[in-house]
Amino acid sequence: MKPKAKDIREIVAPFKGDRGVTIPVLQAIQNVYGYLPPETFSIIEDELGIPSSVSYGVATFYSQFRLRPVGKHIIKACDGTACHVRGSQTLLSSIKDHLDLKDPESSNDGLFTLEIVACLGCCSLAPVMMIDDVTYGNLTIEKMKEIIMTYRKGGG
């Protein structure tokens, strides 16, 4: 979806008057666009009175926030301790190869964005990855390819 200032304003509006909203408001915007469009910060300043330096500072502090557009699906590959000792590094590099990801992160077809995270909480099924909100465990390279294929087939 192409971000429009008017739409962003609409997302921001309900947060007016509340305290401690910087993170939730950024999360709400990112939920819609998958990232924070550049207009985000000045709109938040206009609407909520939070200086753009503050909201930008927050956005760059937390790893959840992205400042660039993302693919249709987000792959979170785990490199937490349990996954690390069970071969996540190898899996990670094969995901990169498989999706033909150049540095950084997003596949050319606009379908996938890869993020490396530390622990998805399914450590006993290590190595683990999550695509959007679905977690996949006990991964092998083969299995990873099959799973990614199903997302490709789903028209992506």
Cα–Cα dist 30/106, whole Å: 17
- Which of 143, 36, 56 lies closest to 94 in space, CA to CA? 143
Q: Which CB sits closer to ligand FES, 70 or 91?
A: 91
Binding site for another protein (CB under 8 A): 19-24, 26-27, 50, 54, 57-58, 61-65, 76, 79-82, 84-87, 89-90, 93-94, 97, 117-126, 128, 130, 133-138, 140-141
Residue 78 binds to ligand FES (criterion: CB under 6 A): yes
Site for ligand FES in 120-149 (CB under 6 A): 120-123, 126, 128
The alpha carbon of 18 is separated from its chain's Cα centroid by a whole number of angstroms, namely 26
Cα–Cα dist 75/134, whole Å: 10
Whether the CB-CB separation of 128 and 75 falls below 8 Å is answered with no
Min separation Cβ 46 and another protein, Å: 17
Residue 81 binds to ligand FES (criterion: CB under 6 A): yes
